[in-house]
A and B are shown apart, each in its own frame.
Chain A
Amino acid sequence: GQQVMQIPQYQHVQEGEDFTTYCNSSTTLSNIQWYKQRPGGHPVFLIQLVKSGEVKKQKRLTFQFGEAKKNSSLHITATQTTDVGTYFCAGQTDSNYQLIWGAGTKLIIKP
C-alpha cells in the first residue's frame, strides 16, 4: 500500500544545533502537510506544501517539497527548547484524500 517513510525516528541535538527530518513517499503526492506534537500534547498543523519544488519558511523552520513530489523535509535552524516534540509529515495523493502519515521524528534537546 501507499507509504510515507520518515527518518530519523529520533534526533538528539544540543540547543543551538540544527535539526532535519525527511519524508519519502512510495507514490507521487498531491500535497504534504507537517504537524508538530509537543510532549503530552496533540498534533498541531504547521504547514502545507502543494507545488513541486516548493520551499516555505516559518522563522527558523524551512519546509521543502521535492521536484517529483515524493519527498519532503523540515529543517530547523538553531534549535531551541521550545522546538522539542515529534514532527510528523502526512501526504495526500490525487486518488485518495486520506492522509498517509509518516512515523514521526522526535526532536530531543540534550541538557
Chain B
Amino acid sequence: DTAVSQTPKYLVTQMGNDKSIKCEQNLGHDTMYWYKQDSKKFLKIMFSYNNKELIINETVPNRFSPKSPDKAHLNLHINSLELGDSAVYFCASSQSGTANEKLFFGSGTQLSVL
C-alpha cells in the first residue's frame, strides 16, 4: 500500500484551463504539504495543513487553492493555468508538523502547461 498517493501522475493541459491534483495519505499523519519542484530541481513549499487547518501559505499566486476535506486528504486546485506553472508537484505528509519529523512524499504530478 502506498503511504502517500497523488493523482494524476501526469497532467498535460492548455493555458487558461483549471485543473486539480489530489493527494491522500494512509499514515495517520496530521500534517500535509504541497511542494513545487521546478526544472532545476529546487523544492519550494507552497502550503502546509495541520489537521485540516492551513498552517503555511507561502507566496503563491491565489490561482492556487488547497483544500483539505479531512486530515488524510489535501487537494490542490489551480485556476487559469499559466506556462510558468509547469513543474512537478509533490504532496507530502509528516506526523504532526513539529520538530524532528521526516517527510513522506507522494510520487509527484508532472504538470505540463502548453
Binding site for B on A (CB under 8 A): 30-31, 33, 35, 37, 41-45, 48, 50, 86, 88, 92, 94, 97-99, 101, 103-104, 106
Contacts and interface: CB of A to CB of B under 8 A. Distances in A.
B66 interface: no
Contacts of B106: 42
Contacts of A48: 100, 102
Nearest to B106: A42
Lowest 4 A-B CB distances belong to which pairs? A45-B102, A42-B105, A101-B43, A104-B41
B114 interface: no
B20 to A, nearest CB: 19
Given A86-B41, A99-B45, A45 B104 contact: yes
Which of B40, B42, B43, B100 has the largest number of chain A CB atoms within 10 A?
B43
Contacts of B104: 45
Which size bracket describes the interface of B in this complex?
20 to 34
Chain A binding site: helix, strand, loop or mixed by DSSP? strand
Contacts of A43: 43, 90, 103, 105
Interface string B46-89: 00100000001000000000000000000000000000000000
A97 B30 CA distance: 14
A98 B98 CA distance: 8
A31 B100 contact: yes
Nearest to A86: B41
Contacts of A106: 41
A65 B45 CA distance: 24
Contact of A30 (B97, B99, B103): B99
